[in-house]
Amino acid sequence: MERHIKIFDTTLRDGEQAPHCSMNPAEKLEIAKQLESLGVDCMEAGFPISSPGAFSSVEMIAKNIKDSQVAALARAVQGDIDAAYNAIKHAVSPRIHTFIATSPIHMEYKLKMKPEQVLENVKNAVSYAHSLCGNVEFSAEDATRSEPEFLVRVFDTAIKAGATVINVPDTVGYSLPEEMYNLIKYLYEQVDGFDRVDVSVHCHNDLGMAVANSLSGVRAGATQVECTVNGLGERAGNAALEEIVMAIRTRGGLFGGYTKINTKQINRTSRMVYNIIGQSAAINKPIVGRNAFAHESGIHQHGVLAARETYEIMKAEDIGITKSKLVIGKHSGKHAIADRLTEMGYKFTEEELSSYYEKVKDLSDKRKYISDSDLEAMVYNRERTSGTYKLESFDVHTSQTESSVCVIKMSRDGVIMEKVSLGDGPINAAYNAIDKITNNLCTELLNYDIHSVSDGNDALGEVTIKLRSGSRTVTGRGLSTNIIESSILAYINGINKLIELE
């Protein structure tokens, strides 16, 4: 009988720890709801003890998610465990995830504990967590560099104390696939009760082995994989959810199992996460990269046209990439737009549909047809803040020989403000004018990126920027056929996020 391989998504916790990948509470909730639609078995919502903001975000997610388990991370100390439980106690299916390091180097230099002290800590922490919540996951940090015999004692202690999930992390991405396979096999043979709990693997990608190591763990008997959308995570990242899921789906016979992931939501989930953190997929990224289903070689093209299976082992439709049979344009009504968005896998409120309809009408005055990429960009670039500042108008003068000049008019709480500034180019001039209005709230522009959403010289231009104010870093986005306007909208969007974090 095929096994159910559970997907534990940690995009909102481990993924967000990646540099410049922070999200505000509204964005976290949006991703959490999409992960629920994707069908993840469990999502790790965050590390509640780390800050009041982290606690409230986890609590908000726990209260809103109904069809997936919600986990919170905690070190193996009572204060962390209390914070984790209090943040997730309102979840339909809560899980406390507690951990402690078990490798010699971590115990000596980080914990400054002897092995027996670590064992005592495991016993106390898991027992206490179990007294609060029936679903407790225990992780042995740096498990793949731990002494195997000691790891057996650690897991044996955790299971006896009430752990329902045992996680074997390759914390620094050190392991190779054969080593991970052998370790999981060894633990099944040596740990009493290992076959009565969910056995999980959590692999980092420092050597590019995260997906391979995770799948080797599954082949050896693991029943849960911990991963992130697009492989986000610290350093080189984690195992990529979309690669894990499609590997198991495509080669299910080899793994003897299946996941409950709705694969038609993969493309949408990937795009959403990339958009929110202000990144985009590498063109050759497996599953979700732009070239994943593209063929340029004549030999390949001929083969695919003759029989898709000659060079494609998956269908684009399987991950939610569809081709529209409806033409969206100037005369399309709300129903046509709603039908197309639904076909593409999007959910929306009546208010959001009205907003998309107005954007389609505006864009239709500038280009004849609206592509699926245009519709997606409208969905992803909707305002996710309270909209403290709003662009009213701008006027730019620029030339090759003189400094650019920009006049910006913005409003806040009904008050109109107008400033003029010079700059080295139109965008620099616009940003200088915005800084005057916002009292230089942004202290540093970390990154500016622009790309076209679709083809043609009338394509939408999507601008993504990263702003810093003190220790706070945010992503701003703007969308327009006018790249100066999209740049201004992105900057204002980032400013509004900085204000929201104050």
pLDDT over 50 (residue 502): yes
Contact 163/126 with Cβ under 8 angstroms?
yes
Q: 104 falls in which pLDDT band (50, 70, 90)?
A: very high
pLDDT in tens, 479-493: 888 999 999 999 999
In the chain, the amino acid numbered 220 is A
DSSP per residue, 378-432: HHHTS--S---EEEEEEEEE--SSS-EEEEEEEEETTEEEEEEEEESSHHHHHHH
- Averaged confidence pLDDT in the chain: 90
Q: 377 falls in which pLDDT band (50, 70, 90)?
A: confident
pLDDT over 60 (residue 298): no
Residue 4 carries which DSSP code?
Answer: E
Strand partners, 413: none
Q: Count CB neighbours of 413 within 10 A.
A: 7
SS3 312: coil
Rg (CA), the chain: 25
Return the CATH superfamily for domain 389-501. Answer: Alpha-isopropylmalate synthase LeuA, regulatory domain (3.30.160.270)
> In the chain, where are the structural domains located?
3-277, 290-319, 328-380, 389-501
pLDDT over 60 (residue 385): no
Question: Residue 473 belongs to what H/E stretch?
Answer: strand 472-480
The pLDDT of 183-188, averaged and rounded, is: 98
Burial of 375 (0-12, 13-18, 19+ CB in 10 A): buried
DSSP per residue, 193-219: TGGGSEEEEEEB-TTS-HHHHHHHHHH
Cα–Cα distance between 29 and 34 in angstroms, integer?
9
Contact 240/210 with Cβ under 8 angstroms?
yes
Q: Count CB neighbours of 110 within 10 A.
A: 12
The pLDDT of 370-386, averaged and rounded, is: 72
pLDDT in tens, 21-53: 778 898 999 999 999 999 999 999 999 999 999
The pLDDT of 149-178, averaged and rounded, is: 98
* Residues in CB range of 434: below 8 A, 6 or more apart: 408, 410, 419, 488, 491, 492, 495
pLDDT in tens, 252-279: 999 999 999 999 999 999 999 998 888 8
The pLDDT of 143-161, averaged and rounded, is: 98
Cα distances from 215 to residues 229, 231, 245, 393, in angstroms, run 16, 14, 10, 53
Cα–Cα distance between 202 and 210 in angstroms, integer?
8
pLDDT on residue 186: 98
**What is the dihedral sign for C-alpha 175, 178, 182, 184?**
positive
The pLDDT of 168-191, averaged and rounded, is: 98
pLDDT in tens, 417-430: 999 999 999 999 99
pLDDT on residue 343: 79
Q: 304 falls in which pLDDT band (50, 70, 90)?
A: very low
Out of 84-88, 130-134, 274-278, pick the least confident.
274-278
Q: Which two tokens stand for residue 379?
A: 């969905």
pLDDT over 60 (residue 295): no
SS3 467: strand
Out of 51-60, 261-270, 366-375, 394-403, pick the least confident.
366-375
Cα–Cα distance between 414 and 416 in angstroms, integer?
6
pLDDT over 90 (residue 465): yes
Please choose, from the candidates 357, 381, 378, 368, the residue with its C-alpha nearest in 3D space to the C-alpha of residue 456. 368
Domain 3-277 grouped into CATH 1.10.3470.10: no
* Residues in CB range of 397: below 8 A, 6 or more apart: 404, 405, 406
